[in-house]
Amino acid sequence: MKTIYLVTGAAGFMGTNVCAQLLERGDAVRAFVLKGDPAVKFVPKAVEIFEGDLCSAEDCEKFFAVEPGTQTVCIHCASMVTINPNYSEKLIAINVGGTENMLNAAKSHPECKKFVYVSSTGAIPELPKGESIREVYSFVPYDDNRVVGWYSRSKAMATQKVLDAAADGLNACVVHPSGILGPNDPAIGQTTRTLIQILNGEMPIGMQGSFNLVDVRDLAAGTIAAADRGRKGECYILSNDEVSLNELCEMLKAETGCRGCLFYLPLSLAHFAAKLMEARASKTGKPAVLTEFAVYNLERNNHFECSKAKMSLALPRVPTRKHCMIWRFGSAGGKNRMKKVCVITGGGSGSGDLPRRSSSVKKDITRFWWGARRPA
């Protein structure tokens, strides 16, 4: 029987990689994208495009419609991502209401054989430093002090809806990615932007604290594995080693010779600086360079246990400390010398290859590559 993979958020960082990997193994893919979204150009060309709005139950229903004799698998990557911790009706409407619409559509289509929801490690209640954060199966009600910021809370609420649907019979499971990094970042997210600043010598002062970052291609592979063999009603953390900003800078310095950060603020001073910057931003109307929420994300416990995903999904997990490297494109004239990292690019000739992306950060072109697999 023919199978079509229904991928939401297909024009996003995670979604484009999921689509590309599905195409590479010969699967048919239908992508749900917002009407008029310019990022649709980043979706691989062999993908069928469906334009719609997650907040429209009718659009979600139409997305699932297929010819008789066809079965579907839905991978729900779409969400509104924000580093603003404040409440937003739009955030809840998209992340919670949109997920509910997708679940209802899946339940009304018996030919949908699997539903995979891409949640976040932020949805999992935080534990004290020194403890490993593992999968949980109850997300609502949440503790405001352990699920911080409304993005994380929206993902927690949506995750609970998925688990409730699984309890009611839908063959659904959940993956929880930690920080996402890698080539082909369409929006140049906060993590990618931070690395570009470090590599370009534009961040002389850093902060104490840590990240948990995974190659987007490994996350896509783990998500597809969940679609293939993830168990109904189960959650899987897709994470990596916790690494400090200091360690990250040292790895980048060793690989590229960049200057890195020269000084690291204690978190107490970082909180103080963030408060001053936010107070100034409230008067000027300009975004704060540093926020309390950004400091929290470095300060929090970022140690996530992913052994379940490694065992059940064969998560391709590359230790950050061993495989942080830069893949350098040759400069003009063919010389393979290091240039400042300013543009995230990718692409090739295969049907599943991602279109080349560019950024206006600067004109220098380098391919940033995170992980152990060499580009083609």
Which pLDDT score is estimated for 158? 98
pLDDT (tens digit per residue) in 10-69:
999 999 999 999 999 999 999 999 999 999 999 999 999 999 999 999 999 999 999 999
pTM (two decimals): 0.87
Which pLDDT score is estimated for 58? 98
In which band, very low, low, confident or very high, does the pLDDT at 184 lie, cut at 50, 70 and 90?
confident
pLDDT (tens digit per residue) in 245-267:
999 899 888 888 898 898 999 99
In which band, very low, low, confident or very high, does the pLDDT at 325 lie, cut at 50, 70 and 90?
very low
Specify the CATH architecture of the domain 2-183+212-244+302-313: 3-Layer(aba) Sandwich (3.40)
Chain position carrying tokens 């907040």: 55
Which pLDDT score is estimated for 319? 57
Which pLDDT score is estimated for 117? 98
Segment 225-245 mean pLDDT:
96
Which pLDDT score is estimated for 320? 56
Q: Express as a percent the part of the chain with pLDDT over 70.
A: 84
Q: Who has greater pLDDT, 201 or 236?
A: 236
Which pLDDT score is estimated for 96? 98
Map out the domains of the chain as residue ranges.
Answer: 2-183+212-244+302-313
pLDDT (tens digit per residue) in 88-127:
999 999 999 999 999 999 999 999 999 999 999 999 999 9
